[in-house]
Chain A
Amino acid sequence: DTGVSQDPRHKITKRGQNVTFRCDPISEHNRLYWYRQTLGQGPEFLTYFQNEAQLEKSRLLSDRFSAERPKGSFSTLEIQRTEQGDSAMYLCASSLLGLAKLFFGSGTQLSVL
């Protein structure tokens, strides 16, 4: 069991640049979630997939954000034209269908300068 893996662990970018994060879930898990966490707050839901289908998107997810899970395995989260307000920890989690317990990765810390 290799757990949920996220890459990169840290990303520093300049405002206006595009960034892409990758998440590899636990292999048998069919649900994959993206959350964002800022200092002093709990993780905020962004979007989730069941297999390759994106089933729900938060209103927090502006049209600069896009997520994919092309073959129902790994997922990518892209942020276009980054803004300083995008600076946060981006967390990926996975679970089995029908179970509420999520397994989280270590996150990608994004800093937008």
Chain B
Amino acid sequence: DQQVKQNSPSLSVQEGRISILNCDYTNSMFDYFLWYKKYPAEGPTFLISISSIKDKNEDGRFTVFLNKSAKHLSLHIVPSQPGDSAVYFCAASASYGKLTFGQGTILTVHP
């Protein structure tokens, strides 16, 4: 059972434009959500997170939005840069336990 889903396998955007990556979840017990970025042959690195008591968290060019009623979160990157090209994973946790990951979205930012 895929409790965390990223339905877009890939996304291509132009440098300077906005990148929007989406994630849906099914488990109502999830109360903390994270985004990780992964380059080939490396482990995932933490990007940004949000608690279920908030609906928005911002860190520089990265903003995460949470819509609890829709069980949906999104990551906005503005402006997108070529160095942002990587695989992005959405992850969720219930009561600070293990993380459950989505399948990932490959982001390509073209110069």
Contacts and interface: CB of A to CB of B under 8 A. Distances in A.
B99 A102 contact: yes
Size bracket of the B interface:
20 to 34
A18 B89 CA distance: 31
A98 B95 CA distance: 8
Interface stretch (B11-19, B44-52, B53-61, B67-75): B44-52
A104 B96 contact: no
Contacts of B43: 4, 6, 91, 93, 104-107
Contacts of A41: 103-104
Given A43-B89, A109-B41, A101 B46 contact: yes
B98 A101 contact: no
Nearest to B6: A42
Interface string B1-23: 00010100100000000000000
B85 interface: no
Interface string B59-100: 000000000000000000000000000000101010011111
A103 interface: yes
Interface of A: 4, 6, 33, 35, 40-45, 48, 56, 91, 93, 98-107, 109
Given A42-B4, A42-B104, A101-B49, 15 more contacts: A33-B98, A33-B99, A42-B89, A42-B101, A43-B44, A43-B101, A56-B98, A91-B44, A100-B97, A100-B99, A102-B99, A104-B36, A106-B41, A107-B41, A107-B42
Interface of B: 4, 6, 9, 32, 34, 36, 41-46, 49, 89, 91, 93, 96-104
